[in-house]
Structure formats: structure tokens, C-alpha cells
Structure 1
Amino acid sequence: MKSIGEGTATVIVEEREKNGRYADMADLVRRTGLTAVQLEALATAGAFDGFGLSRRQALWDAGRAAEERPGHLSGVSSAGPPPTLPGMSEMETTMADLWATGISPDDHPIRHVRAALDTRGILRADQLSTAPDGTRVLVGGVVTHRQRPATASGVTFLNLEDETGMINIICSGGVWNRYRRIARESSALIIRGRLERSQGVTNLVADKLERLPLAARTTSRDFR
């Protein structure tokens, strides 16, 4: 999780196991010494839902709770009472999950643009298995991997993910060079190509790439 390393996560878990559940956000700070930045990361990820706090409310409360330090008296804070804040929309919640943890367990960013993709005839991952071999189709999704093995003779392999599954993409050296900037910098792509099915595996041999704008920023694992 963003700003929360393995060591900090271990401290939080071990303190809870040793001395019982945390009463609230301030109690968490007094017992673990978390910073405001770390509290905000946890709040963004929805970690304080169990305290009856929405993500927005938890983010607002993080600064005040961070003033509580180990060894200090509880409730010593200069901040006034928190305002009543609206909850996050579905898209905002998805964006918050992706920012804080890199994943969204309850949603997918492509779902929020699916209506527009359907209008263009862009297929979902779960539709590719029934599309005829050799068909030229459009697909769209979040880029999860970019790989170029040394033995691949300049071919780059991409993996796209939509709300229904994964899509394997094969980019020749020529296609990659033609769309290099879009291919390297876009977190989500629309790709046109020809379906190629072999031994039960479906790949898309790309011939055109375009950027797919998303409100939620995602990250990929590249060239490993």
C-alpha cells in the first residue's frame, strides 16, 4: 500500500494482536506513531470503514488524528469539529483504491467507460473466445504488463485487463515503433488487431493502438 511498507503494516498488526482492537483513528496513532501521510493513505483505501467513517470523512480526520502522538493525552487537538462530508462516487472510490493499493477489489475502471466502448463495437475479454479465428476486432483495457523477451526478435507482448478478464496482445517491432509513445506512456489502450488462436490460447496481433482516457490512474509492470 502507498506510504505503508511491510514494516509499518507489521507494527499495526502486532500492536492490535498484543493490546486489542483500535478504538478509533487517534488510538491507532497513539499506539503506532503513524504519520498524517500514512493515515491519509489508509483513509483513501477505506481502512477506517470499520470505525463508521466514510473515506472522505477519514481523510478529513487524518490531520487531526495525526496530532495524537505516543505518550500524549488523548483528545488534545486544536482542530474544530469535522464537517458533514458527502460520500465518494463509485468512480472516485475506484480511483482511491487504485491510488492507495494499486488494485480495486470491488470495481474496475473499464466498467465506467464500457458504454462508450460498446458504442464503438469494442469487445470485452470474455467475448474473444467465441469470435472467429482471424477476425479483426477492437479491444480496450488497462495495461498490466509490457514485456519484450530477448528471444522475441523485437516483438513486444502486452496484457490488457478489462472488467471481464485478460487480453494477450502481440505487437510487432513495426507496430511498436509506429505507436511507441502511446504504447509506452498510456495506462489504458484501445487496440485493433487480428485474433490468432492456437492450442486454446487466444492472442490479438495488433495493427493499431490508441490511448484510452481513464479518470482512474493505473500502473503496469514493464519489461521484466
Structure 2
Amino acid sequence: FGQTGRRRTDPGKQLPLALPTEQDHVVLPRATSWERMADEYRVLGLSPHFHPLGLMRARLPAGMVSSRELEKLPNGLLIRVPGLIVCRQRPATAKGITFLLLEDEFGLVNIIVYPDLYERQRLHVRATPLLIVEGRLQRLNNNTNVLATRVVPLEDAAFVYPRHPSDAREDPVTEGSDAVDPRTIQLVRLEEATDGPQNRAEVTAIKPHAHNYR
């Protein structure tokens, strides 16, 4: 009542607006395999499609050993094994020894960390997901282990990225006589790989739900 002259409109209908219909179409670059993997880790804590080492392998220098090569190597050999730490154990009955389970794109490697190394590089042993482990290959009672002598965060190794090795940053935690300077490792000259990580932040973003037991 008293509302003569007003048009009733359907509340569920959008009023016509004088807007331009032509719009610019944004073309986004296709995500790389590394970016897709990083998204899966952010959401799931794992990637069902990719492994970080599989995407980095072409950039690693000669001499890095994979899990599938261990059985062919002699006992006692000093080796470097890169990988993702998926399990950590430091049982009270092991006299301070820490056990790590390192995973690459081919399988698993048992890593034994003695108390002296643990105290020197506690932060990396306990919390760094991607490591290069240097140590002695041990075959004992049908078990294959690596007795670690030092560890290096994989994100601090210059050869992982498409840049010059002189740009590598020094790791303040591993400075000293037991440190491994990534710039001293012989590099493999490769063209830039678009599927690998492009900077340090892209590597540190890979954080799996590692299982830690005591």
C-alpha cells in the first residue's frame, strides 16, 4: 500500500548492469613438476607423483650414490648419499646413537649417527628434511648401513640450483673443521633444468611428515 509507481523485482534475479563484456584472458605458465610436488607436500605432507631426489638427480655432481647402488659397493667405502629423511629414532637403550631412514627415488638407506656427530650437528640431524650424508658403508649381518661422519643440508649445496657455484651460501651450523663447503665439490656442467628447484626456498618448502620415535 502506498507504493504505487514502483516496479517489483525478483529478489533472486541479477539486475542488468552496463558492464563491458570483453575481458583480457590471462595465460598462466604451466606449473613445473617441482611446483606440483611442492603443492602436494603443502596439502598432503607427501607427493604421490614425484620424489624430490628424482627431480634433483640430474643436477647432482658425480660421486653421489643412490640407494640402488649400495649393494654394488665394497664394505668400508666412504660415500655421499643424498635423500629425504622420513624417519628418526633415538632410543634410550642405544647409548646416544641416532638412527635415520633416508629415502631417495629408488629406495631407503639406513643411516647411523653416533653421539659426537649428533652433538655437532644436532639441528640438521633432528630437523632438516633433505640431507647429503657422508659416511662409511657398513655391511653387517645382512644389513647395509651408512655410518655418518658429516651431514650437509641439500638446500645449501650450490649444484642443486641453476646458478654459478660461487653464489653458494655457507652454512653457519656446519662451519669448522668438519664442515663440507658445497663450493669445493666438483660440479657437473648441465643446462638449467626447469623441473628442478630454482632457489633455496623451493627446497626448504619440502617438509614431509617425518616419523620420529624415541
TM-score by length of 2: 0.63
Deviation at 1:120, TM superposition (A): 4.2
The answer as to 2:164 corresponding to 1:221 is no
**Within 5 A, what are the aligned runs for 1:131-150?**
131-150=73-92
* Distance across 2 between alignment mates of 1:189 and 1:92: 20
Q: SS at the partner of 1:94?
A: helix
Deviation at 1:170, TM superposition (A): 0.3
- For 1:186, the aligned partner's letter is T
Root mean square deviation, CA, Å: 2.2
- Provide the aligned length of Structure 1 versus Structure 2: 146
Question: What is the CA deviation profile of residues 78-133 of structure 1, one whole-angstrom value per residue up to 9, with x for unaligned ones?
Answer: xx98844333111101111111111211111112221232x141100110111111
Q: Which residue of 2 aligns with 1:53?
A: none
Q: Which residue of 1 aligns with 2:98?
A: 156
* Distance across 2 between alignment mates of 1:199 and 1:102: 34
Greater C-alpha radius of gyration: 2
Deviation at 1:195, TM superposition (A): 0.9
Question: What is the CA deviation profile of residues 22-58 of structure 1, one whole-angstrom value per residue up to 9, with x for unaligned ones?
Answer: xxxxxxxxxxxxxxxxxxxxxxxxxxxxxxxxxxxxx
Q: Which residue of 2 aligns with 1:89?
A: 32
Question: What is the CA deviation profile of residues 125-174 of structure 1, one whole-angstrom value per residue up to 9, with x for unaligned ones?
Answer: 11011111111111010111111011100000011111111110000011
Q: SS at the partner of 2:29?
A: coil
**Within 5 A, what are the aligned runs for 1:40-51?**
none
**Within 5 A, what are the aligned runs for 1:203-222?**
203-213=145-155, 214=203, 216-219=205-208, 220-222=210-212
From the two aligned structures, give the one with the greater helix fraction. Answer: 1
**Within 5 A, what are the aligned runs for 1:1-224?**
83-117=26-60, 119-213=61-155, 214=203, 216-219=205-208, 220-224=210-214
Q: Percent identity at matched positions?
A: 35
* Distance across 1 between alignment mates of 2:100 and 2:90: 9
* Distance across 1 between alignment mates of 2:73 and 2:46: 29
Unaligned stretches of 5+ residues in structure 2: 1-11, 15-20, 156-202
Does the CA-based 8 Å contact 1:95-1:215 persist in structure 2?
Answer: no
- For 1:223, the aligned partner's letter is Y
- For 2:211, the aligned partner's letter is R
- For 2:71, the aligned partner's letter is S
